[in-house]
C-alpha cells in the first residue's frame, strides 16, 4: 500500500477524541467508537444507573433492564472499558455463569465507584 492510501485509510478510521479509549486495543476502541449511537446511549444510561445503585452487576443485568443485544458482541466489552476508563465502575469479582448454551464460563461482576454513587447523592 502506498503512503497516500495509508493516510486516507487512517483518516477514514480515525476515532475522535470523544470516543477514544486511550490504553485500549484498537479493536476495543473501534467497537466503542463505531457502536450505533442509540445503543451506546441506552447501554451507558442503564449501566450508569446500575453503578449509582452500588450493587454488583453483570452484562446480564443490562439485558434484564431492556438493553438490546448489540450488533456485535464486542460492543459489551467496549462499553465496560469506556465506563471503567471514565471511573464510573470497577471490577468487583468474577463468577461462574451458565448461559442458555449450557457452557460454564467465568464472567466479570462490576460495581459502581464511589464517584458514580456520589452523583446520585448530590
Q: What is the pLDDT of residues 38-59, one digit of tens each?
A: 999 999 999 999 999 999 999 9
The grid cell for 78 is 467496549
- CB of 110 within 8 A of CB of 92? yes
pTM summary value: 0.73
| DSSP state string for 89-100 | EEEEEEEEE--T
Q: What is the pLDDT of residues 3-34, one digit of tens each?
A: 544 444 444 455 555 555 556 556 666 777 77
List, in order, residues 6 or more apart from 80 with CB less than 8 Å away. 47, 59, 89, 108, 110
Amino acid at each position: 500500500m502506498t503512503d497516500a492510501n495509508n493516510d486516507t485509510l487512517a483518516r477514514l478510521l480515525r476515532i475522535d477524541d470523544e470516543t477514544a479509549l486511550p490504553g485500549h486495543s484498537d479493536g476495543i476502541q473501534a467497537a466503542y467508537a463505531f457502536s450505533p449511537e442509540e445503543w451506546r446511549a441506552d447501554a451507558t444510561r442503564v449501566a450508569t444507573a446500575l453503578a449509582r445503585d452500588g450493587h454488583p452487576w453483570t452484562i446480564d443485568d443490562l439485558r434484564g433492564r431492556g438493553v438490546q443485544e448489540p450488533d456485535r458482541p464486542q460492543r459489551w466489552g467496549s462499553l465496560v472499558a469506556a465506563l471503567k476508563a471514565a471511573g464510573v465502575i470497577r471490577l468487583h469479582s468474577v463468577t461462574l455463569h451458565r448461559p442458555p448454551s449450557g457452557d460454564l464460563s467465568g464472567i466479570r461482576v462490576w460495581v459502581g465507584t464511589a464517584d458514580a454513587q456520589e452523583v446520585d447523592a448530590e
